[in-house]
Amino acid sequence: MCWLGWALLALLALAGCSQAGAGQPPGNEGNALKLKVDGFGVGEEIPARFTCDGADERPDFSWSEAPEGTKSFALSVIDYDVPKQARADGIWAHWLVKDLPARVTQVKGREKLPVGAVEVANDFGRGAWGGPCPPDRRHNYYFRVYALKVEKLGGVDLDDFHERAKAQSLAVAEVVASYERKK
């Protein structure tokens, strides 16, 4: 095989290695932070009990392998498939939590949040879980944990939560799952 063939093989091998961070949010390739949402995994259907068609329970969240220097965590559940008539930017926040202490590595669905954690008002107008309830078709839901370099995210609201969390994050992990209402 000529040198050009070897060069092509080397490029293909390197391209295959670039997938090592696949499944991580953009900009977090190589990120060690892991998120688990009990009851479903990446690409799976969200069970009805966590939605408006069921008991609208909040699932359990747990995370591991936060980077050194993590001072707090933030959590979010976002739907980016919202019809423009419902919200002009097509984004619906179902749950936003900030200021989870760095020692915390899980939030149980049926338990109170740890001391210090704050639920930010979501698109339902309340600082609480609001489960998936897509009006028109199957929607994808992005469950995220942010490892933050600050103890407190400060005075954030629905409109600036993600920008502030991204700006202060050391790492982000996500689970993307979907739900479609049964008709």
Structure confidence at residue 83 (pLDDT):
86
Over residues 20-38, mean pLDDT: 65
Share of the chain above pLDDT 90, in %: 75
Higher model confidence: residue 31 or residue 41?
A: 41
pLDDT class for 5, splitting at 50, 70, 90? very low
Structure confidence at residue 31 (pLDDT):
73
pLDDT class for 6, splitting at 50, 70, 90? very low
Rounded Cα gap, residues 134 and 82, in angstroms: 8
pLDDT class for 65, splitting at 50, 70, 90? very high
End-to-end Cα spacing for the chain: 60
Share of the chain above pLDDT 70, in %: 84
Which H, E and C letters describe 24-40, residue by residue? CCCCCCCCCCEEEECCC
pLDDT over 50 (residue 43): yes
* Phi, psi torsion values for 101, nearest 5 degrees: -60, 150
**Under CATH, to which class is 31-179 assigned?**
alpha beta
pLDDT tens digits, 85-125: 888 888 999 999 999 999 999 999 999 999 999 999 999 99
Q: Which residues contact 121 (CB under 8 A, 6 or more apart)?
A: 96, 127, 157, 158
Question: What are the residue boundaries of the structural domains of the chain, listed by start?
Answer: 31-179
pLDDT over 90 (residue 7): no
Single pTM value for the model: 0.83
Structure confidence at residue 30 (pLDDT):
59
Strand 106-107's sheet: what is its strand order?
34-37, 61-64, 106-107
pLDDT over 80 (residue 44): yes
Distance of CA 115 to the CA centre of its chain: 21
pLDDT class for 183, splitting at 50, 70, 90? confident
